């Protein structure tokens, strides 16, 4: 097993060992941080993920966004462009289906797609991160492809992670896209 796979396995076990109470408290802290964030406040269109596999909980923040009349978008595996994501509008009545990875996503409807360049914020899940902004994902490269040209748009990526997902060093590959900021329940790490 290579270093990235080993690190991915270790950190996934670490975040999955968090108790329900720890997860809930982390989700509250995240929602508090995000709701007062200087980039979130003016944002109209926010891409977010639904929590899976021990990831930092987003449901409290999602509810806050709906209360603030912000448009939310969820990632959907692109049906014709393997390895890529589409972002579809997510509302309280959106029908969700399980994708090939066992993750809930909106049922595909081309009228609900928001082009990446029209999003203000994209909240990305991650498995691990380090003090340079390097992000280790699940290994599919979906977010790296989506974020490849984020600096040429108004889009601002925010990584979301538990404190226990911070590591000393991520073994970086050429295709990895570092993040300008990662938010944990206790701290915001800025890299720009």
* HSE-CB of 66 using CA atoms within 13 angstroms: 13
Using the 8-state DSSP alphabet, how is residue 113 labeled?
B
User: Tens of pLDDT along the chain (192 residues)?
Assistant: 588 889 999 999 999 999 999 999 999 999 999 999 999 999 999 999 999 889 999 999 999 999 999 999 999 988 888 888 999 999 999 999 998 888 899 998 999 999 999 999 999 999 999 999 899 988 777 888 888 888 888 899 999 999 999 999 998 888 888 899 999 999 999 987
Residue 1: predicted pLDDT: 56
CA distance 133 to 172: 11
Q: Between vectors from CA 155 to CA 153 and to CA 157, what angle results, nearest 5°?
A: 135
CA 190 vs. chain centroid, Å, equals: 16
- Distance CA(64)–CA(183), nearest Å, equals 17
- What's the pTM value of the predicted model, to 2 decimals? 0.92
Report DSSP state, residue 37: -
pLDDT of residue 58: 96
Domain locations in the chain as residue ranges = 3-190
What are the C-alpha distances in Å from 125 to residues 53, 80, 93, 162? 11, 23, 23, 10
Query: How high is the pLDDT of residue 155?
Result: 93
Beta partners for residue 121, in sequence order: 46, 156
Q: What is the structure's pLDDT at 79? A: 82
Query: Which CATH superfamily includes the segment(s) 3-190?
Result: NagB/RpiA/CoA transferase-like (3.40.50.10420)
């Amino acid at each position: 097993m290579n270093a990235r796979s080993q690190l991915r396995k270790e950190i996934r076990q670490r975040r999955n060992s968090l108790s329900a109470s720890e997860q809930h408290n982390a989700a509250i802290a995240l929602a508090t941080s995000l709701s007062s964030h200087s980039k979130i406040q003016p944002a109209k269109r926010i891409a977010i993920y639904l929590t899976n596999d021990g990831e930092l909980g987003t449901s409290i923040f999602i509810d806050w966004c709906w209360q603030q009349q912000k448009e939310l978008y969820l990632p959907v595996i692109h049906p014709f462009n393997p390895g890529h994501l589409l972002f579809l509008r997510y509302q309280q009545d959106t029908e969700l289906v399980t994708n090939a990875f066992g993750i809930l996503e909106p049922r595909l409807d081309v009228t609900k797609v928001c082009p990446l360049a029209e999003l203000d914020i994209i909240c990305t899940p991650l498995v691990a991160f380090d003090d340079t902004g390097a992000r280790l994902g699940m290994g599919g490269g979906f977010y790296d492809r989506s974020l490849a040209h984020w600096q040429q748009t108004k889009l601002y990526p925010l990584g979301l992670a538990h404190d226990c997902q911070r590591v000393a060093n991520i073994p970086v590959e050429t295709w990895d896209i570092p993040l300008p900021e990662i938010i944990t329940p206790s701290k915001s790490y800025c890299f720009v």
